[in-house]
């Protein structure tokens, strides 16, 4: 979440940034934060003054008792009782102001980086580059992946619906092996790039959800185990970043680079239509996530490095892709700058998002109390970043569609050692 001091010292920048996210009442919202903070500070100040008065009176009472002036001491004690009552009231008011201030801050998204373009929808995102040749498929061999998976019996949606419900597919045979091959390939490439592999829990508590910003923003999109108050993770970002909650890191530990493979769970409430057919949108899917914690001065250099890492994966998979810089209206709630990577789906003839790489600056670390000691021995908030490297469903869809031919589906060369076969047929 935003820091109150940042809002106070950069009010115009914060207001302009929220305007870029199309928040109409940005200025009024920020002023409400500052007013609430003023109220919080005033109650604290009033409490401290009364506490100081109480301490002074206690000393006076002690002096009077020593001098044998018991009656005078008893009179002063009445003021002490009044102060104690008022202090308790002020402490309750202060706690209420703090809770209300926190609730306000939780409802305000991150301030976009200066380079983020204005805009309201995905149509306003900026195409940064395109790489690779869009496949020209033979009309006789141009099946969408939902037909290909039936033809070769590698993914079964009906069986998944029988076991669980819609959006929970069963991968079979070479389809299951393709999943495993992609996961191992992505993890191996991350390790080569210096990432440390971790295998985190796939259930997190409420504090973890608030720490990385999924709560309260995406509460309706997460699966909740009510009996235990635990959430199924929407991405490995949540548990991996929360590993460092309430930590003070030494500067020589930075950057911290972690990678993790997990299943991901998203309710995807309100999703419908042809664009979410087949593997395009699922309730459960596998993903490899890269997470970095960095010095603020190096975080945007790190963001570019993470973007290049994802691009290299797509190049090795021989998939045509493009990189988008998201506009203010299409960015995630917690992000300061996000690059989306999209691959071209030959049979669907459209671009499919397969990765988002984001810099959150101090937005998450402020919630997490994730800090480091810099060269001046000052304790400051770190910057957090993460990216999908990669999410599997749409990668699988693009591989199947783009590489189909009369005799089957050719697998990317880089995956053959992991698969043990070069064709699905």
Q: Check residue 7 and give its pLDDT.
A: 97
Instruction: Provide CB contacts within 8 A for 327, sequence distance 6+.
Output: 116, 117, 118, 119, 120, 121, 124, 125, 126
List per-block mean pLDDT (blocks of 10 residues) for the chain, which spans 425 residues.
97 97 95 98 95 87 80 79 91 96 96 96 97 93 96 97 96 98 98 98 98 90 95 98 97 96 88 75 97 97 98 98 98 97 96 98 98 91 98 98 96 98 97
Helix segments in 107-231, DSSP class H: 145-151, 157-163, 174-192, 206-212
Long-range contact set of residues 8-16: C-beta below 8 Å, sequence gap at least 24: 8/34, 8/37, 13/111, 14/111
DSSP state of 110: P
Q: Compute, in degrees rounded to 10, the torsion defined by CA atoms 113, 117, 118, 121.
A: -110
Q: Check residue 279 and give its pLDDT.
A: 96
Domain positions in the chain are 4-106, 122-424
Q: Check residue 65 and give its pLDDT.
A: 79
Tokens linked to 378: 């000052």
CATH class belonging to 122-424: alpha beta
CA distance 345 to 159: 25
Q: Check residue 269 and give its pLDDT.
A: 62
Q: Check residue 375 and give its pLDDT.
A: 82
Q: Check residue 274 and give its pLDDT.
A: 57
Say which CATH architecture domain 4-106 belongs to.
Answer: Orthogonal Bundle (1.10)
């Amino acid at each position: 979440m935003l820091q109150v001091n940042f809002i106070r010292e950069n009010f115009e920048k914060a207001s302009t940034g929220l305007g870029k996210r199309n928040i109409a009442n940005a200025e009024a919202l920020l002023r409400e934060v500052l007013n609430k903070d003023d109220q919080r500070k005033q109650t604290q100040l009033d409490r401290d003054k009364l506490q100081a008065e109480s301490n002074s009176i206690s000393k006076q009472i002690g002096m009077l008792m020593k001098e044998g002036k018991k009656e005078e001491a008893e009179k002063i004690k009445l003021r002490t009782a009044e102060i104690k009552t008022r202090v308790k009231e002020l402490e309750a008011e202060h706690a209420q102001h703090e809770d209300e201030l926190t609730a306000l801050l939780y409802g305000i998204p991150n301030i976009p980086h200066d380079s983020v373009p204005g805009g309201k929808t995905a149509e306003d995102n900026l195409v940064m580059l395109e790489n690779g040749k869009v496949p020209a498929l033979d009309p006789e061999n141009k099946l969408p992946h939902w037909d290909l998976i039936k033809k070769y019996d590698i993914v079964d949606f009906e069986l998944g619906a029988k076991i669980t419900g819609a959006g929970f597919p069963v991968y079979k045979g070479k389809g299951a092996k393709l999943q495993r091959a992609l996961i191992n390939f992505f993890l191996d490439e991350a390790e080569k790039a210096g990432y440390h592999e971790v295998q985190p829990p796939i259930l997190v508590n409420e504090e973890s959800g608030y720490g990385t910003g999924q709560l309260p923003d995406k509460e309706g999109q997460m699966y909740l185990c009510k009996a235990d108050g635990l959430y199924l993770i929407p991405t490995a970002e949540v548990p991996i970043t929360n590993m460092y909650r309430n930590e003070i890191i030494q500067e020589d530990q930075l950057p911290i680079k972690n990678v993790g493979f997990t299943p991901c769970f998203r309710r995807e409430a309100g999703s419908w239509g042809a664009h979410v057919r087949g593997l395009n949108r699922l309730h459960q899917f596998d993903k490899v996530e890269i997470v970095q914690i960095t010095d603020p001065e190096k975080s945007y250099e790190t963001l570019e490095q993470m973007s290049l890492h994802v691009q290299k994966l797509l190049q090795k998979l021989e998939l045509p892709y493009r990189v988008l810089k998201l506009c203010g209206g299409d960015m995630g709630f917690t992000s300061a700058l996000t690059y989306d990577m999209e691959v071209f789906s030959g049979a669907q003839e459209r671009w499919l998002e397969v990765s988002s790489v984001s810099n959150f600056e101090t937005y998450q670390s402020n919630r997490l109390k994730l800090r480091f000691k810099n060269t001046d021995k000052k304790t400051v908030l770190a910057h957090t970043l993460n990216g999908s490297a990669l999410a599997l469903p749409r990668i699988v869809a693009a591989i199947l569609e783009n590489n189909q031919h009369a005799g089957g589906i050719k697998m990317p060369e880089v995956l053959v050692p992991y698969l043990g076969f070069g064709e699905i047929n």
